[in-house]
Amino acid sequence: MAKQSIQQIKQRFGIIGSAQELDRAIDVALQVAPTDLSVLITGESGAGKESFPQIIHQYSRRKHGPYFAINCGSIPEGTIDSELFGHEKGSFTGATGARKGYFEVANGGTLFLDEVGELPLSTQARLLRVLETGEFIKVGSSKVEKSDVRVVAATNLDMVQAIEKGKFREDLYYRLNTVPIRVPPLRDRQEDIPLLFRKFAGDCAEKYMMPPITLTDDARAMLVSYHWPGNVRQLKNITEQVSVIERERTITPEILQKYIPYNEGRMLPVSVSKLKEADYRSFANEREILYQVLFDMKKDISDLKQVVKNIIEGAPAHASVHPTVSPADHPVAHSSTPTIISGDHTRVSVPAKYEEFQPTLTIGDNKVHDIQDATEYEESTKSISEVEKEMIAKALARHNGKRKSAASDLGISERTLYRKIKEYGL
């Protein structure tokens, strides 16, 4: 396809940029448009995948037919089959009448399935059948229907990884991926970033009747070097923010830095299951830190006992040890320390980090009180699994055995809690 034709496509569909990979994606879309081959468009969220199904439809023989774009991730699992394939009256609760699905109403046209990787496995089986044979069955019906629909799908997921995890059918992937089109992320189109910024700034200025903002050379370099995890969508949002909020119309790096979150990470979409796993890992990390603090405190107490024992064993006869404050009045974080007073009034202070252990000792005719050999204080160290088991048991007791409430209290998923209950025999 000639460069002039690709440029015309960009103008018609509002595509900004001259990156080689972007031109290649447009060229592939134009080449495949006259056919009926299935197309799978891949790319990160916000990269501009939604323009390519429209290019394919408008340059195909179906351009006068219907075009529907469906976001598969936004439709509940219980109704997705009805949305795509239709249902008969009374087929499920609330089905007060028959309904046509998208494959029926889009007959002779194009169906764009966005976020196709979010489809349930049962729906994937139905989709595979209609792609291979052109046949489908409505929910609650036994009648086979025919449909002549061109399917273009898009996803921001790693489909190979999804197949390996059993979340997407391999046969459906190869059926959809007859012609792959990859939309490059914005960080791979650095030369396009200033062009997009200028376009968004001009549109915003025209819409709100204000002077357009411009970038200094340093600000432009900062914009180009940024990672752009949200791609074109994020660039547009930041451009509009700066245009509306800033009074100064020449944007410097100091101004731009307030709007570019350099510490935000990639911010790519994550499935619900991954979020739960991430939450559990965060909880586990915090728990490990807590355990380490407790073990360090235990070691400090053991060191204190050894210090006191050594002082006692080395103290002269008739020496007395008195706490600087009485145990009843002693707060947890008091700054006082126990002091040994010997017969010649020599004072030996115990280090402040051992402040909580303040015994009373009389050496001479009197018996020793409140002091035991340090070895008698040795405590058995609980394993992490034992502490975890104890935490889960206490959480269940607090919530009268309600797993959902206990899981929320512990900061883990109910499914993880159920697995732990079975594991520990609670």
Which of 146, 167, 184 represents a domain boundary (last residue)?
184
Q: Do 104 and 180 fall into the same domain? A: yes
pLDDT (0 to 100) of residue 11: 92
- Residues spanned by the domain of 344: 294-377
**At residue 176, what are phi and psi to the nearest 5 degrees?**
-75, -35
pLDDT (0 to 100) of residue 421: 85
Establish if 350 belongs to a structural domain: yes
Report residue 125 as tokens. 């089986």
- pLDDT bin (cut points 50, 70, 90) of residue 138 is very high
pLDDT (0 to 100) of residue 156: 94
Establish if 278 belongs to a structural domain: no
pLDDT (0 to 100) of residue 288: 58
Using alpha carbons only, give the angle 300, 301, 305 rounded to the nearest 5 degrees.
115
* Residue 138 vs residue 401, higher pLDDT: 138
Q: Do 163 and 85 fall into the same domain? A: yes
Helix axes of 3-13 and 20-32: crossing angle, nearest 10 degrees: 90
Q: Do 66 and 167 fall into the same domain? A: yes
pLDDT tens-digit readout, 366-420? 444 444 444 444 444 556 777 778 888 888 888 888 888 888 888 788 778 877 8
246: pLDDT strictly greater than 90: yes
pLDDT (0 to 100) of residue 334: 43
pLDDT (0 to 100) of residue 376: 43
- DSSP symbols for 198-234: HHHHHHHHHHHT-PPPEE-HHHHHHHHHS--TTHHHH
pLDDT (0 to 100) of residue 422: 79
Q: Hey, which residues does 214 pair with through a beta bridge?
A: 250
Q: Give the chain's domain count.
A: 4
Q: Is the pTM of this model over 0.85?
A: no
* Residue 139 vs residue 405, higher pLDDT: 139
pLDDT tens-digit readout, 17-34? 999 999 999 999 999 999
Establish if 275 belongs to a structural domain: no
Establish if 264 belongs to a structural domain: no
Average pLDDT of the chain is 80
Q: Do 7 and 151 fall into the same domain? A: yes
CA 85, CA 106: separation in Å to the nearest integer? 11
Average pLDDT over residues 52-62: 96
Q: Do 37 and 128 fall into the same domain? A: yes
CA 201, CA 246: separation in Å to the nearest integer? 12
3-state secondary structure of 40: strand
Average pLDDT over residues 305-311: 76
348: pLDDT strictly greater than 60: no
Q: Do 404 and 371 fall into the same domain? A: no
Which of 184, 207, 227 represents a domain boundary (last residue)?
184
Q: Do 231 and 200 fall into the same domain? A: yes
Average pLDDT over residues 340-349: 44
pLDDT (0 to 100) of residue 382: 57
94: pLDDT strictly greater than 70: yes
Establish if 269 belongs to a structural domain: no
Residue 403: closest CA among 274, 423, 412? 412
175: pLDDT strictly greater than 90: yes
Do 99 and 139 form a contact (C-beta atoms < 8 A)? Answer: no
Q: Do 388 and 399 fall into the same domain? A: yes
CA 318, CA 313: separation in Å to the nearest integer? 13
Establish if 325 belongs to a structural domain: yes
Percent of the chain with pLDDT over 90: 56
Q: Do 305 and 361 fall into the same domain? A: yes
Which of 141, 157, 184 represents a domain boundary (last residue)?
184
Residue 340 φ/ψ region, left for φ over 0, alpha for ψ in the -120 to 50 degree band, beta for the rest: beta
pLDDT tens-digit readout, 271-306? 434 444 445 455 455 555 665 666 677 777 877 777
pLDDT tens-digit readout, 198-226? 999 999 999 999 999 999 999 999 999 99
CA 118, CA 124: separation in Å to the nearest integer? 10
Q: Do 310 and 387 fall into the same domain? A: no
Establish if 287 belongs to a structural domain: no
49: pLDDT strictly greater than 80: yes
